[in-house]
A and B are shown apart, each in its own frame.
Chain A
Amino acid sequence: AQKITQTQPGMFVQEKEAVTLDCTYDTSDPSYGLFWYKQPSSGEMIFLIYQGSYDQQNATEGRYSLNFQKARKSANLVISASQLGDSAMYFCAMREYNNNDMRFGAGTRLTVKP
């Protein structure tokens, strides 16, 4: 069974600085996808970025990048130039090719300080 671990319940970052949110996963399926979602206080779930297990390069989407270390089974989210609007819960999730359900980690609450 797949498992997603986010070890940081809460993180603080100064506005305009970069922050890394940790995510480790466990799977025996060689083919899988990793996703990050943002959940602001409004409650909606916003898809941020995707990384495939066979992707050679780390994914990037604007200020978001994914530090993918396959051998260590980690997929950390890096947010550059933090903004006050980045304050939210962030969830890491994984989907396996042979088991299409998608499982989420417990989340990290990010607070951006002005």
Chain B
Amino acid sequence: GAGVSQSPRYKVTKRGQDVALRCDPISGHVSLYWYRQALGQGPEFLTYFNYEAQQDKSGLPNDRFSAERPEGSISTLTIQRTEQRDSAMYRCASSLAQGGFRNSPLHFGNGTRLTVT
């Protein structure tokens, strides 16, 4: 597709359930990032991949959060045993190149709004 696609757009789940959020990056983009954004706040870094390799997961809040990108394209962010504090907008972004910055700003998807009740 032309842009970064995320699904679902909205997800309401009950506390304790697992959720999987999907990101389909722009074709050919090497790097893929996951962010969490609270209302009125800046995107909070969670993790990122170059191709299928997870390069940095230091932003994942705890071990209930995990991400994968097995074939270097689509990525899934999984939250196990969801809690109300996990409610937020989860954004995915992709970037063309891993080294050169000038031609590789992050392109963001529209996000998945997760609500844990």
Contact = CB atoms under 8 A, between A and B. Distances in A.
Chain A residues touching B, majority SS: strand
Contacts of A89: 40
Contact of A101 (B42, B45, B102, B110): B45
A102 B106 contact: yes
A106 B101 contact: no
Contacts of A62: none
A35 interface: yes
Interface residues of B, number: 28
Contacts of A101: 33, 45, 48, 55-56, 58-59
A104 interface: yes
A28 interface: no
Nearest to B50: A100
B99 A97 contact: yes
A24 to B, nearest CB: 14
A43 B101 contact: no
Contacts of A100: 31, 48, 50, 55-56, 98-99
Contacts of A57: none
Interface string B58-99: 110000000000000000000000000000010101000011
Shortest 5 CB-CB contacts between residues of A and residues of B: A33-B101, A45-B108, A104-B42, A47-B105, A104-B43
7 contacts: A32-B101, A44-B108, A44-B110, A91-B42, A93-B106, A95-B101, A102-B93
Interface of B: 31, 33, 35, 40-45, 48, 50, 55-56, 58-59, 89, 91, 93, 98-99, 101-102, 105-108, 110-111
Interface of A: 4, 6, 32-33, 35, 43-45, 47, 50, 52, 89, 91, 93, 95, 97, 99-107, 109
